[in-house]
Homo-oligomer: A and B are copies of this chain.
Amino acid sequence: MLLLEQRIATEGKNLGDGILKVDSFINHQVDAGLMMACGVEFGNFFANTGANKILTCEISGIAPALMTGWQLKVPIVYARKTKPVTMPDIVFMTTAPSHTKRRDVEIMASPEYLRPDDTVLIIDDFLATGMTILALVRIAHAAGCKVVGIGTLVEKTFEHGRDALLHLNIPVHALARIKSMANGKIEFEPN
């Protein structure tokens, strides 16, 4: 998706160690129009998957998931990293690495909103090693849901997360694919 690639090329900052700062339009400040464009793209791509729910992870996955939910006319569920008092004591919980916090975090979802008859599309901001996406898949599977697709705004192909998702045998769609962040540069995969 050229629009997103152009924003990353002009505003993204390569902080080293594979960390891409996109805080001016995705991760702290959020460009609502760009997110809607991404939601339209995901909505078109996954239109025929039969998904009746979108699963994402707080915090940065919420914006693209919400716009995709708007397009597909389905609700979103965001896995939480801390348990609010409104959440029941029986939850689906697993761990996922937080790249920007440099440690593992717990993520959880309530059985109230992930049901065995749900067909789930996973949307998140980044696909890097795939560990966070796989954690969302584990949560969906623990709930008995069928997972029918995975969409991310950005994929860092040099971290090979797509390979870790291959066994799921479902479509994986990334809107901007970064081949390399070596030497302070940001190089995209050819489209």
Taking the closest CB of chain B, its distance from the CB of A157, in whole angstroms, is: 20
A23-B58 contact given A66-B35, A86-B15, CB 8 Å threshold: no
Asked if A45 is an interface residue, CB under 8 A from chain B, the answer is no
Indicate the size class of the contact surface on chain A: 35 or more
| Contact partners of A109 in chain B: CB under 8 A | 28
Is the pair A86, B30 in contact by a Cβ cutoff of 8 Å? no
The contact sample of 20 A-B pairs, CB cut-off 8 A, is: A15-B86, A23-B87, A23-B110, A24-B112, A28-B77, A28-B112, A29-B77, A29-B113, A30-B62, A30-B66, A30-B78, A31-B75, A32-B73, A32-B74, A32-B76, A59-B62, A62-B62, A62-B63, A63-B66, A82-B101
Q: Which residues from chain A sit less than 8 Å from chain B, CB to CB?
A: 13, 15, 19, 21, 23-25, 27-33, 35-36, 58-59, 62-63, 66-67, 69-70, 73-78, 80, 82, 84-87, 100-102, 109-110, 112-113
